[in-house]
Chain A
Amino acid sequence: MGFGDLATMREGLLGVRAADAAAVGTITLDSYTRVNDHDSARQALRTGAELNGFPLVAHGPVATRRLLGEVSGDGFPVQVRHGSALPYPLFEAMVAAGVDATEGGPVSYCLPYSRAPISEAVKAWARCCELIAAQPEPMHLESFGGCMLGQLCPPSLLVALSVLEALFFREHGLSDISLSYAQQTHPGQDLEAIAALRRLAGERLAGADWHVVLYTFMGVFPRTLVGSFRILEESVRLAVRSGSERLIVKTPAEAHRIPTIAENVDALEFADAIARDEAGRAARVSTPAAGSGSGAAHGSGAESGDEVRATDSGIYEEARMLVDSTLELAPTVGEALIRAFSRGHLDVPYCLHQDNANRSRAYVDPGGMLRWAEPGRMPLRVDRGGTARRPVSAKGLLGMLGFNERRFDREQLTHGHFTSRPSISARSAS
């Protein structure tokens, strides 16, 4: 959640703190701050132009520390969300302001979000890690590697990048870290992916205090209110079933605009209620509320009926192979990442960054599984089913990007939620 002015940001964080949910505060930074264009951010503050987030550096560490002092506390840490490839000035400001946590990484905040060479991002992130490692109470750092481009990146690469960035953080002195994964197009595949992430992290991050954060789908979002809550619900159930310790939610405004404070609070409270319901189901504790709110009555597709089962598509093996073969390329994780991308050994599908080979391709299969269409020069075995896939068309790309939008919006047309159960509140009250 991010707003340009201090008062609205404070109001937003207090709203989240007061929410009936086990919530962590977030401050999302504006786009100028992300690209170190702090002058434009300051100018917007002077002229009152609307920013799309909180300009932390322009407001400065003193004002930000005061804001955090008013809203955060032991039971309510605040994470700063940015998307900055070269974030050293921002990290200096965050450390000075006493921020609890942030996220990113030399790959995940470089390739999708900037034109900075990956070699510069590696240098910058190494300095950032070392800066926070030198503090008496180092800030928590989360890898954003499991969220590349938000959608259409197959799970094995998301898992591998998340683990590789976590290893990079370790290499530069951090031990309080987390790994991420973003909900994709198939709940069973996502369950398999998060299990693979946990297993690989457990094997490779000995000595670190790590956990997993799941992101509600970050791509083209359902446009209907109920469709939006349904995809959020699916991500909450996935978080509980997969043992993910944190969840970053989306709101029904996602397809349309930046959400209001009330929309953020509603989404958090909804997610918290679903999480309690899912935890109850998992423990086989049947309560009336859990019964009426269970997915069985309202779910569709893969989620109808009973438990979603993890697929068995070899995500762990593929991710482990990508991690190991990348690490073999150089003595340090940072250098290995640079070399891996320069030779296309790691290649994020469709990513336009000049240091990404952009030869690999992915597609959503008819069952909703996200699969490789083209490996590029990545060391993957890709089953082409005997025939080469045709290059994707503009319309085909929109179709794949909109898979979840259609999956959850169409549900409204075909399952008659509006006629049988008019709203979320009616549903939980019934």
Chain B
Amino acid sequence: MSQVMLPAKRFVVSSVSSDAHMWNLVFLQLLLEEQGAEVTNLGACVPDELIVEECRRTRPDVLVISTVNGHGHLDGLRLIRRIRSEPDLADLRVVIGGKLGVRGAENIVYAEELALSGFDAVFEADGGIDGFQEFLATLENADRPALTSGAAA
């Protein structure tokens, strides 16, 4: 890599409290690290409190919640309300993606409520990874210096 690496964006990647799936988190970490990010991966079944503590400790640029067990519309909602109720985390950029309900393609019905409740972006699994990649691209223009090593997966 010959490009100048600007200060990396920091991400916290996490599942929600009841979701034990792991491969989605392993994949996201690799995807983000390849694009120059620093990733703290909290793994599966993470209690809300631990996510809040970690975000407070590391002040990430983005908290990425990934969940595929179908409880995302329940656990994600509770989590984002908790995060937005903390004054120091009210501005934290938080996104959620995965299989958000147990209804397959109809899970999209949950996206609006999740977004209205405070997620900056909601990605249903059926939409593929492109939406998340586009979201990452918008971060380049955000207040922190842009990343220059952007090999898309």
Residues of A at under 8 Å CB distance from B?
31-32, 34-35, 37, 40, 44, 49-52, 83, 112-115, 149-151, 219-220, 253, 256-258, 350-354, 392-395, 397-398, 401
Known contacts A52-B69, A112-B22; can you find 5 more A-B pairs with CB under 8 A? Answer: A52-B102, A112-B44, A219-B23, A256-B105, A392-B30
Q: Which of B18, B23, B26 contacts A35 (CB 8 A)?
A: B18
User: B46: which A residues are within 8 A, CB to CB?
Assistant: 115
Q: Which A residue's beta carbon lies closest to that of B46?
A: A115
A34 touching B20, Cβ below 8 Å = yes
Distance of A186 Cα from B50 Cα, bound (Å): 40
Distance of A351 Cα from B21 Cα, bound (Å): 10
User: A49: which B residues are within 8 A, CB to CB?
Assistant: 74
A256 touching B104, Cβ below 8 Å = yes
B20 touching A393, Cβ below 8 Å = no
The answer to whether the Cβ of B108 comes within 8 Å of any Cβ in the partner chain is no
* Interface pairs A-B: 3 shortest CB-CB: A257-B104, A31-B18, A113-B20
Distance of A83 Cα from B69 Cα, bound (Å): 13
Most buried by B among A50, A83, A115, A354: A115
Q: Which A residue's beta carbon lies closest to that of B43?
A: A352
Distance of A288 Cα from B17 Cα, bound (Å): 53
User: B71: which A residues are within 8 A, CB to CB?
Assistant: 31-32, 51-52
A351 touching B153, Cβ below 8 Å = no
Per the 8 Å Cβ criterion, residues 50-83 of B in contact with A are 50, 69-71, 74
Asked, given contacts A115-B45, A351-B22, whether A37 binds B17 with beta carbons under 8 Å apart, the answer is yes
A258 touching B22, Cβ below 8 Å = no
User: Interface size (B, Cβ < 8 Å)?
Assistant: 30
B153 touching A112, Cβ below 8 Å = no
User: A395: which B residues are within 8 A, CB to CB?
Assistant: 153
User: A37: which B residues are within 8 A, CB to CB?
Assistant: 17-18
Asked, given contacts A35-B17, A37-B18, A52-B69, whether A149 binds B30 with beta carbons under 8 Å apart, the answer is no
User: A397: which B residues are within 8 A, CB to CB?
Assistant: 26-27, 30
B102 touching A257, Cβ below 8 Å = yes
User: B26: which A residues are within 8 A, CB to CB?
Assistant: 350, 352, 397
Q: Which B residue's beta carbon lies closest to that of A112?
A: B22
User: Could you give 12 example pairs across A and B, Cβ below 8 Å?
Assistant: A32-B18, A50-B103, A51-B71, A257-B70, A350-B22, A351-B22, A352-B22, A352-B25, A393-B153, A394-B30, A394-B31, A398-B153
Distance of A32 Cα from B69 Cα, bound (Å): 11
Q: Closest CB-CB distance, A150 to chain B, in whole Å? A: 8
Contact with A along B92-126 (1 / 0, CB 8 A): 00000001011111000000000000000000000
A258 touching B70, Cβ below 8 Å = yes
Number of A-B contacts (CB under 8 A): 91
Q: Which A residue's beta carbon lies closest to that of B41?
A: A352
User: B25: which A residues are within 8 A, CB to CB?
Assistant: 352
A31 touching B44, Cβ below 8 Å = no
Q: Closest CB-CB distance, B43 to chain A, in whole Å? A: 4
Q: Closest CB-CB distance, A121 to chain B, in whole Å? A: 13
Q: Closest CB-CB distance, A99 to chain B, in whole Å? A: 21
User: A51: which B residues are within 8 A, CB to CB?
Assistant: 71
Contact with A along B30-52 (1 / 0, CB 8 A): 11001000000101111100100
B34 touching A394, Cβ below 8 Å = yes
Q: Which B residue's beta carbon lies closest to that of A349?
A: B26
Distance of A402 Cα from B74 Cα, bound (Å): 28
Per the 8 Å Cβ criterion, residues 1-37 of B in contact with A are 17-20, 22-23, 25-27, 30-31, 34
User: A50: which B residues are within 8 A, CB to CB?
Assistant: 70, 101-103
Most buried by A among B47, B105, B153: B153
Asked, given contacts A354-B43, A394-B31, whether A40 binds B74 with beta carbons under 8 Å apart, the answer is yes
A393 touching B30, Cβ below 8 Å = yes
Distance of A258 Cα from B74 Cα, bound (Å): 17
Asked, given contacts A115-B45, A256-B104, A394-B31, whether A401 binds B23 with beta carbons under 8 Å apart, the answer is yes
Q: Which B residue's beta carbon lies closest to that of A113?
A: B20
Distance of A49 Cα from B25 Cα, bound (Å): 26
Asked, given contacts A31-B19, A52-B71, A112-B20, whether A394 binds B45 with beta carbons under 8 Å apart, the answer is no
A35 touching B45, Cβ below 8 Å = yes
User: B70: which A residues are within 8 A, CB to CB?
Assistant: 31, 50, 52, 257-258
User: B104: which A residues are within 8 A, CB to CB?
Assistant: 253, 256-257
Q: Closest CB-CB distance, A115 to chain B, in whole Å? A: 5
A115 touching B43, Cβ below 8 Å = yes
A83 touching B102, Cβ below 8 Å = no
Q: Closest CB-CB distance, A253 to chain B, in whole Å? A: 8
User: B43: which A residues are within 8 A, CB to CB?
Assistant: 115, 352-354
A31 touching B103, Cβ below 8 Å = no
User: A256: which B residues are within 8 A, CB to CB?
Assistant: 104-105
User: A112: which B residues are within 8 A, CB to CB?
Assistant: 20, 22, 44
Q: Which B residue's beta carbon lies closest to that of A391?
A: B30
Distance of A59 Cα from B103 Cα, bound (Å): 23
Distance of A31 Cα from B43 Cα, bound (Å): 15
Q: Closest CB-CB distance, A312 to chain B, in whole Å? A: 30
User: A150: which B residues are within 8 A, CB to CB?
Assistant: 23
Q: Closest CB-CB distance, A108 to chain B, in whole Å? A: 12
Distance of A50 Cα from B103 Cα, bound (Å): 9
User: A351: which B residues are within 8 A, CB to CB?
Assistant: 22
Distance of A50 Cα from B74 Cα, bound (Å): 9
Q: Closest CB-CB distance, A69 to chain B, in whole Å? A: 28
